[in-house]
Amino acid sequence: MVNTPTSAATGIHWPALPHPTNALLLALQYQLERSQWCTPEQLQQQQSLQLQALVTHAQNSVPFYQQRLQHFPNLNQSKFSLDIFRQIPILKRSELQQSNKNFRSSALPKDHLPIHQLRTSGSTGAPVDIIGTQVTELFFRAFNLRNHLWHQRNFSGKLAIIQIQTDREYKQKARSLNWVEAFPSGQVVEFDTGQTIQQQLLWIQQEQPDYLLTYPSNLKALIEQAQTQGNSLSSLQGISTFGELVTPTLRQLVRESLKLEIIDVYSAKDAGIIALQCPKDFHYHIQSEGIYVEILDNENQPCASGEVGRVVVTPLHNYAMPLLRYEIGDYAEVGHACPCGRGLPVLNQIYGRQRNMLVLPTGEKIWPKFILSNWAKMGPIRQIQAIQQNRSQIEVKLVIDRPLIDIEEKQLHQKISEDFDNKFQILLQYVDEIPRTSGGKYEDFICEVS
Ligand SMILES: [Zn+2]
């Protein structure tokens, strides 16, 4: 089926004459359709031009960078290159917290107005305020639209979103028309992860959506509950996730129970959409037209294909609050060029934050290899989370439907201990609930060792 954009002119249906706001979005889409097939070198050339403009703006009007880049060569010269750009020191979240206000530009171009706040709460408590503009918002919407087009969604379908809702916003947008911007599309309905899984399932059955967008952990809980109750989620034609790690186990669960494939989006509140899942594969394409992404090893050198490193981003168009080489705290594995032919760089897998790494008694850090669902299967366990408290001890929090009998507890204890190579003392702790982080994420494993 051909999707014709929404037309705004009286009596004109095809080809559409879109409203100016939508026309901008479609003009961007036209360029994105082409740029995705550019070679990596061509993409870098364009990124370099955009970075030069952004860095110059930051040097001229952002107090933090006026100071940080004062001994730097004047980057507003023809010799600017990505190699020069990569000499800019990496920006830590703590620096952004400490001098938050100094990141605001005093000379925001008028055509970037209005601005809006993208508050992020931050796992360590101290909030970081990030300002976005009309331009960053436009790019966010453009990559969203690209995602719908890449995955050939049926625009007339109904989309259900289940995520953390703040009261006021939720009531305003709980039900609205049109989830695909610039095109005629179906209804979008929203629900709150604060409701029980049971309530969420009931709501889905009332709404009968074609598409569902939610956090991976919430999706997993929904499917498991639906299975135990014999409920079906059969109205769904597509499943999308965001905000947390999508494990191969979860992909498998969705494949087996719903005969669908998860389409995941890698985004961050302070950086926008970073990467979208390839239409032909399970890995991700960096959205190079909106963001410059580096995956760096411990020596701050770029990782090669197959290596895991820290994600460092530079959003290309945020002139209200430029962030140059900002380390967002995630880790990712670099991929090879994609057989689909797109030149947009590939990330094989996105890993959680650094605090999701395990610290061995020797002080070495590794990614823990356990599969949480294997533990959860060993008893009437509803939720489970492991927290490393020090180099020798791991506390495992459990939400249970009934008390475990002795043998269940003993086997569970033994299995967890083995999964950590018997290197840690394991404490089981029964709790009423395991809350999400304030950013809406639910983490399998948290390391509290500094
Ligand atoms: Zn691809």
Quick: pLDDT tens for 261-301: 999 999 987 889 999 999 999 999 999 999 999 999 989 99
* Alpha carbon of 262 to ligand 1 centroid (Å): 16
* Alpha carbon of 289 to ligand 1 centroid (Å): 15
> Which pLDDT tens digit goes with each residue over 409-443?
999 999 999 989 899 999 999 999 887 765 556 67
430 in helix, strand or coil? strand
97 or 147, which is more confident:
147
* Alpha carbon of 21 to ligand 1 centroid (Å): 29
Residues contacting residue 259 through CB under 8 Å, at least 6 positions apart? none
* Alpha carbon of 316 to ligand 1 centroid (Å): 22
* Alpha carbon of 185 to ligand 1 centroid (Å): 26
* Alpha carbon of 152 to ligand 1 centroid (Å): 15
Q: Where residue 75 falls among pLDDT bands split at 50, 70, 90? A: low
Is pLDDT of 126 > 60?
no
* Alpha carbon of 281 to ligand 1 centroid (Å): 6
Q: What mean pLDDT is predicted for residues 208-235?
A: 90
**Burial bucket for residue 154 (CB in 10 Å: 0-12, 13-18, 19+):** middle
Is pLDDT of 320 > 90?
yes
Alpha-carbon span 351 to 241, nearest angstrom: 15
* Alpha carbon of 303 to ligand 1 centroid (Å): 20
Alpha-carbon span 150 to 148, nearest angstrom: 6
* Alpha carbon of 313 to ligand 1 centroid (Å): 21
Q: What mean pLDDT is predicted for residues 47-58?
A: 95
Q: Where residue 78 falls among pLDDT bands split at 50, 70, 90? A: low
Would you say 270 and 260 are in contact if contact means Cβ atoms under 8 Å apart?
A: no
Rg value, the chain, Cα: 23
* Alpha carbon of 280 to ligand 1 centroid (Å): 6
* Alpha carbon of 336 to ligand 1 centroid (Å): 10
* Alpha carbon of 352 to ligand 1 centroid (Å): 22
Residues contacting residue 161 through CB under 8 Å, at least 6 positions apart? 188, 189, 190, 191, 212, 213, 214
**CA angle (262, 157, 283) in 5-degree steps:** 20
Alpha-carbon span 393 to 373, nearest angstrom: 21
* Alpha carbon of 29 to ligand 1 centroid (Å): 18
* Alpha carbon of 286 to ligand 1 centroid (Å): 10
Is pLDDT of 76 > 70?
no
* Alpha carbon of 217 to ligand 1 centroid (Å): 26
* Alpha carbon of 33 to ligand 1 centroid (Å): 13
Q: What mean pLDDT is predicted for residues 105-127?
A: 77
